[in-house]
Amino acid sequence: RGYIAPEVMGTGEATIRSNIYSLGVLIIEIATGDRCPSDESSGRSYIENALKSWKQGSYVASKYPSLQAGFVQQVECWINIGLNCVEILPERRPTIGQIMHFLDTESTNPECYEYVEFSLSAGSSITAWSSSEMGDHANELDALESMLCDASVEPTKLSYTLLKLVTRNFYRLIGHGGFGAVYLGVLPKGKVAVKKLSILQDLSNTAFMDEILCLKKARHSNVVRLLGYCAVAEGQLMEANGTHVMAERTEMLLCFEYVPNGDLQNYIKEECRGHEWQVRYQIIKGICHGLHYLHKQRISHLDLKPGNVLLDANMEPKITDFGLSRFLAEGKSIIVTKQAFGTRGSIAPELINSGEISFKSDIYGLGVIITKLLTRDNNYDFDNWHKSLEVGCSQEKMCVELARRCVEYDQHKRPTIDEIIRELNEMENTIQEEEPPIIQ
């Protein structure tokens, strides 16, 4: 997998330039004497390390001190060629004809084959934006970057070309769910997350527009912010009944603010045990505020789970993934669907049993999240978790009781989000009153 071009891994699109990528990995292997790991992520780290060593200079001379100067220059020339071959964007890679021409004419001078610096690291804020790229997409880039700085700017339609460009042809995969893959997008002055919706979900234009309208309404600090969207039809060569035909498919993409600390599922799995209760409580409180806002907008999320809550740089939670969300009209508390959907373990019983959708469906998912944060475990004992849990402060005890009520089998026994917010506020006021005064 370490030899496979990013565009093949990301979209399945294979061209002659995909072979050039594999050639580049082989060249770097032979020139450096270091094997490329077989898995995708380690393969990219291998290339990043080669690039880093190349930038530091004197790499070959220091690794092979006994090599004659002329041979050092040849090895450096080959590494230079290899690094150009493993460019993320296929169009930036040389053709085999260009490589052969260079070897036949200028191979003794590595400076003749110009190496263009580019960004491989998701942690880097610098990307190789050429002047031509900036010129072609300057207005769109300015509009997108202005949204990052100004939360009042409305989400806008974006071109597929721009999203393909900022994600480097959908190279850096940062998330994946039932409704598609999420890729890192790097702008000259910031980062975004681009969600490429899965065509396997048979997503209609109506469903896509419903999700956009839902996201446009969801403007809150505890809800991931939509920046833009794109839907474009393109031809794709496909095999049908033994023959190849040109079929039309619609690419549907959503562009969001980038949230750097990953999802709550991973936090519970990897980091939760090292954090104090207060950090976990702030996460619970933030999710409650985000859900309170959604319900005020008559939006039922319907897939509230740890994997659909992201954490920003300050550990503030942001609810994401509105692929299943529904609007509930004013005065309507329950709607019925013919097909149950959601995630096992977080889906409310009434949705499974009778297809009933209500705001109380989200409350059930909220209860599951609170329980996992209390137990610090994604695989807790659903029936007996609260009996064996050791709790400390009164705030933690109150959240145990809250979680238990949220996951009641009977939806009518679950609290509303208004009641939950009120209880949290009352509890915080009580704690403040009980705290001893500070003596000057």
Binding region for ATP: 196
CB 120 within 8 A of CB 88: yes
H helical segments located in 376-416:
385-388, 394-406
CB 261 within 8 A of CB 315: yes
- Please report, in range form, the residues annotated as the binding site: 196
The most distant pair of C-alpha atoms in the chain lies apart, rounded to whole Å, by 85
- In the residue annotation, 303 being an active-site residue is answered as yes
Q: Strand ranges (DSSP E) for 283-420?
A: 299-300, 309-311, 317-319, 326-327, 334-336, 356-358
Dihedral Cα 298, 300, 304, 310, nearest 10 deg: -40
Dist. CA 428–CA 234, nearest whole Å: 55
Dist. CA 179–CA 199, nearest whole Å: 9
Give strand pairing partners of 237: 246
Q: Give which of 240, 249, 175, 241 is closest to 10, Cα–Cα.
A: 175
Residue of 39, 136, 303, 312 marked catalytic: 303
Could you write out the DSSP letters of every residue in 124-150? -------HHHHHHHHHHHHHHHHHHH-
Q: What DSSP character marks residue 206?
A: H
> Token pair 């993934």 is at which residue?
321
Dist. CA 26–CA 84, nearest whole Å: 13
Take residue 357 and report the two structure tokens written for it. 């959708």
First vs last C-alpha separation in the chain: 65
Catalytic residues: 303
